[in-house]
Every structure is written in C-alpha cells, then in structure tokens.
C-alpha cells in the first residue's frame, strides 16, 4: 500500500467575539455542530463523531486548555494512522495591542489540495462568524 503523505494546513482568522464566548464553539459537540460539521455527537467514552455528507469521522479531544485551544485527533483507520494520526487544532489568541481575537486553525491530514482546504476552512469560519455575530 502506498504511503500517504500528510500535510499541515494552518490559517489565522480574525473573529469579533470574546474568547470566553468562542471557546464552547471549538470544544463542545453542540458548539461544533453549529458551524464545523453537519452533526457532532459525543459518546459516553468521549469519542466525538463528526458528520459531513453522510460520512462519519470519529475523533477524541486529545488536548485542550479552557479558553485557549482544543485539539482533536482522528481515530486511526490504518496502521499508518496509529503512528501518525490526523488531527485538527483550534486555538484562540488575542492580540494584546489591538484586543483582536484570532482563531488559529491547524489541520493535519492526507488532504492534498491546499487551495480547496483553504476554501473549506474559510467557509467554515465564515459560518462560525455568523453564529457568534462576529
């Protein structure tokens, strides 16, 4: 089987909302379901299931710090994934000078079309801005 190369996509988005207001949208199933995926559920074992176009992707909240960031690691589908799991991280930062809030996105996956991934995240974050009014 061919080795798939994983790529790290990163982007920064300015959002006119406080970190405290934004944090639930990057860390809870209910918050993520409002902008990130068509549906998000969480099992008693704390496994998040993200649904897009009737496809389910399962992930765990691998790391988080309240009002700072949430990192989701996708459950491995192959042996390769076990060694090198795909993940996405949503980090909230404030520019101290301007008091502007930024959402920093890191998306590590085998998705290879960076322009398409940029468009995808742009539209997701646009939806988040609509939800939070920012």
What pLDDT digit, counting tens, does each position of 18-59 carry? 999 999 999 999 999 999 999 999 999 999 999 999 999 999
Q: Does residue 121 sit in helix, strand or coil?
A: helix
What would the two tokens of residue 59 be?
A: 């992930």
Share of the chain above pLDDT 70, in %: 97
Structure pTM?
A: 0.92
Q: At what angle do helices 19-27 and 114-132 cross, to 10 degrees?
A: 120
Count of residues making up the chain: 134
How much is the pLDDT for 78? Answer: 84
Architecture of domain 9-132: 2-Layer Sandwich (3.30)
C-alpha to C-alpha distance for 95 and 79, rounded to whole angstroms: 40
Residue 1 has pLDDT above 50, yes or no: no
Is pLDDT at 3 greater than 70 in this prediction?
no
Q: Which of 27, 6, 2, 4 is nearest to 108 (CA)?
A: 6
Supply φ then ψ for residue 4, to 5 degrees.
-90, 135
C-alpha angle with apex 2: 72 to 51, nearest 5 degrees? 30
């Amino acid at each position: 089987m061919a080795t798939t190369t994983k790529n790290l996509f990163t982007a920064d988005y300015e959002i006119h909302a406080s970190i405290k207001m934004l944090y639930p949208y990057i860390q809870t199933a209910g918050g993520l379901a409002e902008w990130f995926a068509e549906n998000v559920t969480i099992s008693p074992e704390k496994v998040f299931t993200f649904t897009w176009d009737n496809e389910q992707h399962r992930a765990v909240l691998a790391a988080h710090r309240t009002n700072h960031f949430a990192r989701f690691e996708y459950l491995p589908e192959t042996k390769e994934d076990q060694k090198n799991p795909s993940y996405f991280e949503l980090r909230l930062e404030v520019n101290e000078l301007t008091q502007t809030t930024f959402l920093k996105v890191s998306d590590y996956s085998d998705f290879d079309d960076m322009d398409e991934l940029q468009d995808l995240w742009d539209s997701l974050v646009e939806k988040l801005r609509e939800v939070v009014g920012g």
